[in-house]
């Protein structure tokens, strides 16, 4: 019996690789296993190698695995590109149709199963992925009944016959593989899972659901990988709540339309990836100087320019902190799990209204698209706080005076009114302005307004600015990361501890304003610091040095080849520090 399994299915894009992974994962998730998926795909619709690697475990996991137990291949390319991940007792199950060739330098066994042929005999070659799922079940000694419910849900609309045929295809794959497996093959039978109902979702689902839970009722966005799922989800769900999504003509329109909607009192969202954020920069500055709340999601991918549009990277950090010309107060959040993506997105709407500034929710491709098992989300934890938004009737202002929308206050936050409110008329402009919003170039006013705006974020309140797992008062090593690296760091930490290295871990969730006070004790009490990030220049490491100091202790642990960190990579590189 094993407590975790790593399974990968690969083939040409457009061949149904995703649905194969989907059916397999949903069924196992419902049995109570924890899953973590990673999709390798290209920026094209059909053709090109794609694969879906799924890790199954009886306990919580948040990283892809170092190696692979089973590789299901629909073409030779899948074998050639992925067989090296298989360990010695690994198994390749390949479609007999392409006459799969066993690579020389692996001990993993290759089984040719006629996926396409069996499927065609049963009615259509489209069911070849079902045959593959069945063949996998034989290796796992898993009762194919676990797929009945999922197959019913997916194909039910097409009629009972289609459902039955698909189940037959799974059965046929199972039978063929069972027959073929020699008696001395060790089956990879998973320990029974706890049967608990948990969610199975991608980070983008959680971001979108978090927005809905927080009262977001309007979104303006332009399609882009890996952010589009957020708008697609909200397009489906907002009409039931009276809201809507506009797919805009470009990224600038998306940001400015969201600003217009927020100005007029709706909680509005926009989401994009690096190229889109580059285009939104001027609008972010407008939100900053006009003190208009704005929530923007940045799902980072490989940059610069079009870069690696379907690959993992975390290289937008500096741009998100400093981006826009001039200086504005801004908040940047970086959830590190799908749960946090839900809560942090919801909280972003509160922060945007309380501090009247842009709030960027930073994600990365692996967090946004990696489908994983998630513990139930606690809706009662979602609060709605609208800051100094006026809700009462306003007193009349004499002589057509304007409402002091930008009043200089002690905490820097001014009372906010929205269009339509009587006696609230004021002007809003991206030009430097006085307390009523009228343009002003006076030096004294400039100082007063700049100082007021920056005062707002001096003491921002955010629940958990740093996720800390710090078992040691004095540590040999502090590992720091942000966004999706958390899972791989946690596993590496476990291995380092076994090696006798005392490790503390900090995953930064509030990127800006940087929580230096939170990190400082951990930094001081560590002999060395490894900052793990998917970029080439060590952006988080540099920000840490700038804000926390202790530069001599900081080591950059970087990966920028487009792939997420594997636990063994962090483990090995950290050991090299000693």
Q: Considering only residues 407 through 446, tell me which ones interact with other proteins, judged by CB under 8 A.
A: 418-431, 437-439
* Choice between 131 and 213, CB closer to other proteins: 213
One character per residue 360-399, x = contact with other proteins (rule: CB under 8 A): --------------x-xx-xx---x--------------x
398 C-beta neighbours (distance < 10 Å), count: 6
CB of 390 to other proteins, least distance (A): 13
* Choice between 65 and 248, CB closer to other proteins: 248
* Choice between 38 and 200, CB closer to other proteins: 200
Nearest by Cα to 523 from 539, 508, 509, 538: 508
Is there binding between residue 153 and other proteins (CB under 8 A)?
no
List C-alpha distances in Å: 223 to 232, 270, 276, 321, 558.
9, 11, 9, 23, 29
Binding to other proteins (CB under 8 A) within 177-206 occurs at 197-201, 205
For 285-356, strand residue ranges (E) read: 294-300, 331-333
Rounded CA separation 523/84 (Å): 38
One character per residue 220-239, x = contact with other proteins (rule: CB under 8 A): x----------------xxx
DSSP secondary structure letter of residue 147: G
Window of 101-109, 242-250, 488-496, 527-535 that interacts with other proteins by CB under 8 A: 242-250
Residues 553 and 477 sit within 8 Å (Cβ to Cβ): no
Question: Using the rule CB under 8 A, which residue among 71, 119, 209, 493 binds other proteins?
Answer: 209
What residues form DSSP beta bridges with 528? 477
CB of 244 to other proteins, least distance (A): 5
CB of 374 to other proteins, least distance (A): 8
* Choice between 159 and 419, CB closer to other proteins: 419
Question: Using the rule CB under 8 A, which residue among 1, 185, 264, 546 binds other proteins?
Answer: 264
State whether residue 361 is helix, strand or coil.
strand
What residues form DSSP beta bridges with 110? 92
DSSP secondary structure letter of residue 223: -
* Choice between 97 and 453, CB closer to other proteins: 453
* Choice between 215 and 307, CB closer to other proteins: 215
Window of 260-268, 450-458, 484-492, 549-557 that interacts with other proteins by CB under 8 A: 260-268
* Choice between 162 and 235, CB closer to other proteins: 235
Is there binding between residue 249 and other proteins (CB under 8 A)?
yes
Question: Using the rule CB under 8 A, which residue among 240, 395, 441, 500 binds other proteins?
Answer: 240
Residues 354 and 332 sit within 8 Å (Cβ to Cβ): no
Asked whether the CA dihedral 532, 536, 540, 541 is positive or negative, the reply is positive
**What number of chain residues touch other proteins (CB under 8 A)?**
74
Rounded CA separation 439/137 (Å): 70
Nearest by Cα to 307 from 232, 248, 365: 365
* Choice between 253 and 333, CB closer to other proteins: 253
Question: Using the rule CB under 8 A, which residue among 2, 81, 126, 402 binds other proteins?
Answer: 402
What the block records as the tokens of 79 is 């074998």
* Choice between 46 and 157, CB closer to other proteins: 157
For 274-353, strand residue ranges (E) read: 294-300, 331-333
Rounded CA separation 295/271 (Å): 8
49 C-beta neighbours (distance < 10 Å), count: 18
Question: Using the rule CB under 8 A, which residue among 46, 157, 400, 498 binds other proteins?
Answer: 400
DSSP secondary structure letter of residue 531: E
Binding to other proteins (CB under 8 A) within 18-37 occurs at 29-30
Binding to other proteins (CB under 8 A) within 280-319 occurs at 282-283, 286, 290
Rounded CA separation 528/472 (Å): 13
């Amino acid at each position: 019996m094993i407590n975790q399994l790593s399974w990968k299915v690969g083939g040409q894009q457009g061949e149904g690789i995703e649905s194969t992974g989907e059916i397999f994962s949903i069924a196992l998730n419902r049995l109570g296993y924890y899953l973590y998926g990673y999709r390798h795909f290209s920026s094209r619709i059909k053709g090109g190698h794609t694969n879906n690697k799924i890790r199954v475990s009886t306990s919580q996991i948040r990283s892809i695995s170092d190696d692979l137990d089973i590789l299901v291949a629909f073409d030779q390319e899948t074998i050639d590109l992925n067989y090296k991940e298989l360990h010695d007792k690994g198994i390749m199950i390949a479609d007999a149709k392409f006459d799969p060739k066993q690579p020389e330098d692996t001990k993993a066994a290759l089984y040719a199963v006629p996926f396409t042929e069996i499927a065609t005999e049963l009615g259509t070659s489209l069911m070849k992925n079902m045959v593959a799922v069945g063949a996998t079940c034989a290796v796992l000694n898993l009762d194919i009944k676990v797929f009945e419910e999922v197959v019913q849900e997916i194909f039910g609309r097409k009629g009972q016959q289609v459902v039955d045929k698909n189940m037959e295809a799974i059965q046929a794959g199972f039978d063929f593989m069972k027959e073929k497996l020699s008696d001395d093959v060790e089956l990879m039978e998973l320990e029974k899972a706890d049967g608990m109902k948990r969610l199975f979702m991608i980070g983008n689902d959680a971001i979108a659901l978090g927005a809905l839970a927080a009262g977001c009722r309007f979104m303006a966005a332009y399609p882009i990988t890996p952010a589009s799922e957020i708008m697609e989800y909200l397009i489906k769900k907002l009409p039931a709540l009276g809201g809507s999504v506009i797919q805009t003509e470009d990224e600038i329109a998306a940001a400015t339309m969201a600003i217009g909607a927020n100005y007029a009192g709706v909680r509005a969202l926009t989401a994009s990836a690096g190229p889109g954020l580059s285009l939104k920069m001027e609008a972010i500055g407008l939100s900053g100087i006009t003190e208009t709340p704005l929530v923007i999601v940045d799902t980072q991918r490989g940059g610069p320019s079009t870069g690696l549009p379907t690959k993992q990277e975390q290289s937008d950090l500096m741009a998100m902190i400093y981006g826009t010309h001039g200086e504005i107060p801004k908040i940047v959040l970086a959830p590190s799990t799908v749960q946090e993506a839900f809560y942090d997105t919801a909280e972003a709407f509160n922060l945007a209204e309380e501090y009247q500034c842009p709030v960027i929710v930073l994600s990365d491709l692996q967090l946004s698209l990696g489908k994983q098992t998630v513990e139930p989300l606690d809706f009662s934890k979602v609060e709605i706080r609208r800051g100094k938004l006026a809700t009462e009737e306003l007193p009349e202002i004499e002589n057509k005076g304007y409402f002091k929308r930008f009043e200089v206050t002690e905490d820097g936050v001014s009372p906010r009114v929205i269009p339509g409110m009587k006696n609230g008329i004021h002007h809003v402009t991206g030009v430097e302005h006085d307390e009523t919003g009228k343009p002003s170039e006076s030096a004294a006013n400039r100082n007063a307004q700049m100082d007021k705006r920056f005062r707002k974020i001096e003491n921002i309140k955010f629940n958990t600015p740093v996720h800390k797992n710090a078992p040691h008062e004095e540590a040999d090593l502090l590992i720091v990361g942000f966004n999706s690296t958390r899972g791989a760091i946690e596993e590496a930490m476990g291995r380092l501890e076994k090696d006798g290295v005392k490790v503390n871990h900090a995953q930064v969730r509030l990127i800006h304003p940087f929580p230096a006070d939170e990190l400082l004790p951990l930094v001081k009490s560590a002999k060395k610091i490894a900052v793990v990030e998917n970029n080439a220049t060590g952006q988080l490491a540099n920000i840490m040095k700038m804000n926390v100091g202790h530069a001599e202790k900081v080591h950059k642990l970087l990966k920028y080849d487009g792939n997420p960190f594997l636990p063994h990579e962090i483990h090995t590189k950290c050991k090299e520090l000693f």
